[in-house]
Amino acid sequence: MGRSELAKLLEEKKKAREKLFQECWPHDRANTLLLMVFTKPDKNSLDLVFKLLEGFLVLPLHVIVVSETQPADHSRHPQGKITWINPENGRNAPKIGKWLTAADAALVFEEKQSTLQALFQKGVVPVAYSKSPLLMNYHPNEETGNSFTYNSFNPWDIFAAIVRACETHHFPYDWQHIIRSILKVR
């Protein structure tokens, strides 16, 4: 990965992010993490997401939930921080792709290689289960890692990983270092 490729990706993400924030959250642009959440189509995954959403409201982030089991809901959620979208057999693919280009991080419950590669391609930092061989938990002191991982499927462990992502996102050098690590894997 050359510097010019990284710079090009970061510039593309910056433009997509500015456009999305101008459209959706024009008054909230200051270093807010944009998190996409990809749910699994099962009740346990959806229940876990609902438990996490309440905690997400207190964090400096905006959440886009992609769920096959929930209908799209573009109404304003508390504090305007949560948006739902349903892929609807690919009909919303362009919108999801646009949001993915702008996204900083993505919470995934299935760490399929194809899903992670799609995130890596867009420079999106995964927040995922620690058992995936493609992911290495970010360690700020060592400046190593390409993701934020959780060790069990419970809301507290996942929430802690999201908090670490939010904290790290406030440091542009560290965040770019993670993206650089992601691009080496793809």
Q: What CA–CA distance (Å, rounded) separates 174 from 178? A: 6
Q: What CA–CA distance (Å, rounded) separates 73 from 83? A: 7
Q: What is the pLDDT of residue 76?
A: 44
Domain covering 3-185 assigned CATH 3.40.50.2000 in the classification: yes
Q: What is the pLDDT of residue 68?
A: 79
Contacts with 90 (C-beta within 8 Å, 6 or more apart), sequence order: none
Do 87 and 19 form a contact (C-beta atoms < 8 A)?
A: no
Q: What is the largest CA-CA distance in the chain?
A: 44
Q: What is the pLDDT of residue 107?
A: 96
Do 81 and 54 form a contact (C-beta atoms < 8 A)?
A: no
Q: Mean pLDDT in each 10-residue stretch from start to end of the chain (186 residues)?
A: 80 91 76 89 82 90 84 54 79 87 93 86 94 92 94 94 96 93 82
Q: What is the pLDDT of residue 71?
A: 58
Domain ranges of the chain: 3-185
Q: What CA–CA distance (Å, rounded) separates 20 from 101? A: 10
Q: What angle do CA 158, 164, 165 make, to 5 degrees?
A: 90
Q: What CA–CA distance (Å, rounded) separates 6 from 176? A: 9
Provide the 3-class DSSP secondary structure of residue 111.
coil
Q: Alpha-carbon Rg of the chain, whole angstroms?
A: 15
Q: What is the pLDDT of residue 110?
A: 80
Q: What is the pLDDT of residue 121?
A: 92
Do 85 and 106 form a contact (C-beta atoms < 8 A)?
A: no
